[in-house]
Amino acid sequence: MSNHLKFFIDGVWVEPAIPVALDVIDPSTEEAYTRIALGSKADVDKAVAAAKAAFPAFSQWSKEERLVLLRRILVEYEKRYEDIAQAVSQEMGAPIGFARDAQAAAGQGHLKATIEAFEAYEFTETRGTTTIVKEPIGVCALITPWNWPLNQIACKVAPAIAAGCTMVLKPSEIAPISGIIFAEVMEAAGTPKGVFNLVNGTGPDVGQVMAGHPDVDMVSFTGSTRAGVIVAKTAADTVKRVAQELGGKSPNIILADAEFEKVVADGVTTCFGNSGQSCDAPTRMLVPAKRHGEALQIAKAAAEKLKTGDPRTDGIDLGPVVSQTQFDKIQRLIEAGITEGATLVTGGPGRPENLNRGYYIRPTVFGDVTNDMTIAREEIFGPVLSILPYETEEQAIEIANDTPYGLAAYVQSGDLGHARKVAARLRAGSVFINYPEWDLFAPFGGFKQSGNGREYADWAIHDFLEIKGIVGYGV
């Protein structure tokens, strides 16, 4: 029986306090394919009460007991791997190959990385006669987005479990089915009642209630900077910890000594991965001015090789974006790029020619972009790349840092020492040199308006802990 119209609270699937439902839209067809229940304050209160009641016992579990639970969660996750991939593909439009190889794999990867980091994690330290203890912070509200649903769920839930916290999860109501499957995984793994709870709903009706709840000790939020500000303000009245991973407008500096054709083409595909719906996507490509024209031709060819279409069809590179709201926003920003004088290299407004329904975006590249244009300032969250020329390396670094965001930055160079020097000057939480492999043990989080706190592996475990100093312990 489907749990789509239920919440997982205190170890059981329950009906919402108020029976309100929301259609879940398949973005490839623009049609509803299921419905979920929407929560209210009453549901949040019930879930938080369950988490609060479970905390005293669970927080005292030994490290080995929590490791055993995490390993069981991983086993159950792997049993549901294909279900998760299919759910992500339908709910947010990820091509099925990408849903398997990246989206579902991200959740699995974070579970494995957290387990490995947890095995080596130390919770106590002695300095002279003082013992420093790291203790679970308490009841945590976890609010996750639609663009990488399992990535964000797993990289919050797993370290919270490792730390000894209890939690209430609110997945995005736009792409909620993978989150429901994850709750079924937690149930199948034998998670003690109240340790993990799930309530679906909107940001105002559930997310903000969780953020302001007096019995919630921490909020871990991933989403837009606009929503993050609301969460932080709501949480401020109860002086709880708020960890946030927010928006980005990441620069990709192509240095003069890079293997130009390869790194420009790779920059296009990296930007357009997940249909451009990644907060750390390299959306501003900075190229030497004297090679700007060449870069446009390379980028045009790379973009036009990508196949956009039905995400359940093999060989598709880009599916639709997630919703009508996102589609309309991206169309507005593409039009702004044209109006403000950027050169439209390929793509542009409207759907691809072979698609007459679904929230599909034409893979779009702009050239002659200046950093004051809307398309260089706002997070577009679609397959749209802006290429900016620079005269000197110093100017490139200045342009790269001239943004309210600071989530990620990219540097391409044939000289690793050169790339390292540039990376040291970039104001971002993650800097990627020469398109490296994804590192689940690297800290992930932002500077400036891209957030605070860090996720992944031991970095995330630390965020769910309080620090206690017991002075005189060793006297």
| pLDDT digits (tens), the chain, 475 positions | 599 999 999 999 999 999 999 999 999 999 999 999 999 999 999 999 999 999 999 999 999 999 999 999 999 999 999 999 999 999 999 999 999 999 999 999 999 999 999 999 999 999 999 999 999 999 999 999 999 999 999 999 999 999 999 999 999 999 999 999 999 999 999 999 999 999 999 999 999 999 999 999 999 999 999 999 999 999 999 999 999 999 999 999 999 999 999 999 999 999 999 999 999 999 999 999 999 999 999 999 999 999 999 999 999 999 999 999 999 999 999 999 999 999 999 999 999 998 999 999 999 999 999 999 999 999 999 999 999 999 999 999 999 999 999 999 999 999 999 999 999 999 999 999 999 999 999 999 999 999 999 999 999 999 999 999 999 998 7
d(CA 21, CA 36): 5
279 is catalytic: yes
Which domains, from first to last, does the chain contain? 7-246+450-470 (3.40.605.10), 251-440 (3.40.309.10)
**Candidate list 76, 91, 279, 455, residue with the active-site label:** 279
Q: Which two tokens stand for residue 362?
A: 């034409």
Please check whether residue 419 is in contact with residue 412, taking contact to mean a CB–CB distance below 8 angstroms: yes
Give the residue carrying structure tokens 């679904």: 358
- Whether the CB-CB separation of 233 and 204 falls below 8 Å is answered with no
CA–CA separation, 348 vs 382, rounded Å? 12
Pairing mode of beta strands 218-222, 139-143? parallel
155 noted as active-site residue: no
DSSP three-state, residue 303? helix
Q: Which residue out of 76, 91, 173, 245 is catalytically annotated?
A: 245
